[in-house]
Structure 1
């Protein structure tokens, strides 16, 4: 089966790392940052892989990624709150479409949203 890796537009490499690496806990798998060129990198958290791009032609800011079947969402949510990241304090709630699930949405500094869902 094919693997899907969404590309998210970023505008500031340092802010992207602060959000994705330092706060959410993604690791950098690889990056392409030639001198004087925009950054392009792959980050991973568990089975979730995303590409982040400063290249203006790759994608538009404001995308949404739906991450289904995330395990241990409540502890992950608490871990994020405990880090006291000043720009994002996500809530955890049961979504309208499944009262047995838990959902959390975070918004990166570039307007991209990641929605994590754990099924009940």
Structure 2
């Protein structure tokens, strides 16, 4: 077996809050949205810089409180982007970890967490 990609499915409960968080604040773009009919739960794919996430209002798709761990580069610039945007529910820090990486953890409105991590390159500044 060879895996092509992994896409976490995160449970959401409010479309507008999810879009405000993932698109408005984190800067993801919507690739697609699906509903079976008007008023049905939505299923959304969002993407940013090679990170794909599926957001689902469907019962049984994911569990609130899921934690997604992402390796990335450019984390300090991403952190600056986030703290300079007006979003009153998050103001993440840039943390030094025990595994020699920088980490920015954000919590979505549904108690899911995403930890963006970048390996330190010897310089801790």
* Range class of TM-score, shorter chain: over 0.9
The residue number in structure 1 matching 2:41 is: 38
Instruction: Give the alignment of 1:28-67 within 5 angstroms.
Output: 28-33=30-35, 34-67=37-70
User: Of 79, 98, 101, which residue of structure 2 is paired with 1:77?
Assistant: 79
Unpaired runs of at least 5, structure 1: none
The residue number in structure 1 matching 2:14 is: 12
Unpaired runs of at least 5, structure 2: 121-125
**Moved runs in structure 1, 4+ residues, more than 3 A?**
none
Structure 2 SS opposite 1:76: helix
Paired positions, count: 117
Measured after TM superposition, the shift of residue 84 of structure 1 is 2.2
Paired with 2:78 and 2:99, the residues of 1 have a C-alpha distance of 22
Higher gyration radius (CA): 2
Structure 1 SS opposite 2:95: coil
Paired with 1:59 and 1:117, the residues of 2 have a C-alpha distance of 23
Paired with 2:76 and 2:114, the residues of 1 have a C-alpha distance of 16
What do you get for the CA RMSD once the two structures are aligned?
0.8
The residue number in structure 2 matching 1:117 is: 117
Q: Normalising to structure 1: TM-score of the pair? A: 0.94
Structure 2 SS opposite 1:88: coil
